[in-house]
Amino acid sequence: MALLQVKTESGMVEGLTGWNQAVSIFRGIPYAKAPVGELRWKAPQPAEPWEGVRECYTWGNISYQERRASEGGGDLIGNEFYCVDWPRSEDCLYLNVWTPAKKGDEKLPVGVYLHGGGYSQGYGHLNCYDGEGFAKRGIVTVTLNHRLGIFGYLGHPELTAEDEHHISGNYGVLDIIEALKWVKRNIEAFGGDPEKITVFGQSGGGDKTTTMLVTPLTDGIVKGAIMQSGGGLNMVFGEKSLADSEEAGKKLIEGMGYANIAEARKASSEELLQRVREYAGPAPMATMHLFSPCADGYIFPRHWGRLIQDGQFKDIPTMIGCTSQEFVKDVNVNGGDMALPDREKAFADGERDFGDGEAFLKAIKYDTDKQYAAEMYATCVGMTGNTYAGDLAFCESQVANGHKPAYQYYLTLVPPTATTAHHSAEHQYVFQTLTKSARPYTGRDWDLSNKMADYWANFIKYGNPNGEGLPEWTPYSAECKQAMNIDYDLKMIDQQTNDLIDLMVATDLKK
């Protein structure tokens, strides 16, 4: 029988036993105090202790955010991932633990997964993030929720003035750091090893993982990192200083009709979202740069892209990779030459104009004649190339600075019924959650899923994805610039490093 009751620093928690009786699941454990009322836009505070046993049977609230558009079963924005309308609240600082441990002193490796959705959407208990598959491989697995959007990334001079470190705009990042510190202090009671914590994430979660690589506030905590389709030297979110964040936040608060931060703190969660929508537009992409971390001089001495370029990040093993057609999924454009327009214009004119859920989705998927479709296609192509180049640039920096091995992958797999090797295509394979999708997966998909889960689990355990029965995965090096090609036929392929990397990184760092 697996562990069912565990003593944490705040009190006893009780979990549930998985279907196979080998894994215990603890849902909705508070890792910090609810950031509501006067704690809105402040650093996370220690969780309130409780008496007796806290029943951790249900997921915690997800961060207050825009409801996700859904067509009902799409590749990325659809019921495959965002299928349940979970309760939203600013009271969202909860984490979940899956453990195979039978007792609290087993010291198993720990994997902490950071969800995707950029910095404005997502949550840690998506059906494709089920940690049971990793737990069955001997890994204590953690997922978490943190503040997003205006609740997590509002910079403002008034907020900076009231903060003990004279910073603002990085509350969601501070939440993740607080969760990692909680894991470091408490995971041993769940059978985990606090000295063997790997952080991993996909898309926005990959970017968040990169921030954990560079911030000194996680030194001594993070011992490995996996960045999937985001992070590394991928500069999609651009470069932003504390002053930039403060100026943008000041304009936002004024544009939303509030006299000051005190007045904005009194507004309801929904009122804030509504006024952001009126000010910036309804689509998540409209606020992608507005609500993202900034280089504040404390959490981040400089922008993490520049820190990585200069080798100023943790010397730990890493895995990094992307899919071959990331953001190009289902965007059809009539033939003919297309000039690549400015990405900001594409976001503004394309998604903002049609960002009200299904209208945007249908326009992009079905209407091939509109100029905005061509612009969005160009945007997606640019972001896909940026992701690939960012991975290569990260590996080059890892090698140039003599850091521990970097293992790169390049996924060309086209899942059943999909049209491309799209963004998020690896989720169900890595987490072994194929049955949670409506796709008609077959035996060869399960075979690949077993191999991919083994690669990821081996890396979390040993800092090296290789293991018995798996094709050898060679680390990236000056002599061997190769990546594992993830498809039904796993094999190493050559990578092309050229001026594209320098061009894309330099262009993004100017933003």
Q: Can you give the pLDDT of all 511 residues of the chain as single tens digits?
A: 577 899 999 999 999 997 777 999 999 999 999 999 999 999 999 999 999 999 999 999 999 998 764 433 333 333 455 445 689 999 999 999 999 988 888 999 999 999 998 899 899 999 889 999 999 999 999 999 999 999 999 999 999 999 999 999 999 999 999 999 999 999 999 999 999 999 999 989 999 999 999 999 999 999 999 999 877 776 556 689 999 999 999 999 999 999 999 999 999 999 999 999 999 876 556 677 889 999 999 999 998 888 988 899 999 999 999 888 676 543 433 332 322 333 334 334 444 443 333 443 344 343 444 444 444 544 554 454 456 667 778 888 889 999 999 999 999 999 998 877 877 889 899 999 999 888 899 999 999 999 999 999 999 999 999 999 999 999 999 898 899 999 999 999 987 654 444 433 443 443 3
Question: In 84-221, which ranges are E strands?
Answer: 88-89, 94-99, 108-114, 140-144, 192-202
Q: Does residue 482 belong to any structural domain of this protein?
A: no
pLDDT in tens, 383-392: 544 566 677 7
What pTM does this model have? 0.86
Q: What is the CATH number of the domain that holds 450?
A: 3.40.50.1820
Q: Does residue 238 belong to any structural domain of this protein?
A: yes
How many domains are there within the chain? 1
Q: Does residue 487 belong to any structural domain of this protein?
A: no
Question: Is 437 in the active site?
Answer: no
Q: Does residue 141 belong to any structural domain of this protein?
A: yes
Q: Does residue 89 belong to any structural domain of this protein?
A: yes
Q: Give residue 91's domain range.
A: 5-465
Residue 471 to residue 489: CA distance in whole angstroms? 10
Phi-psi region of 465 (alpha: psi -120 to 50; beta: other; left: phi over 0): alpha
Q: Does residue 232 belong to any structural domain of this protein?
A: yes
Which entry of 10, 24, 203, 229 is annotated as an active-site residue?
A: 203
Contact indicator for 358, 71 with CB cutoff of 8 Å: yes
Q: Does residue 490 belong to any structural domain of this protein?
A: no
Residue 422 to residue 364: CA distance in whole angstroms? 15
**Can you give the length of the chain in residues?**
511
Q: Does residue 330 belong to any structural domain of this protein?
A: yes
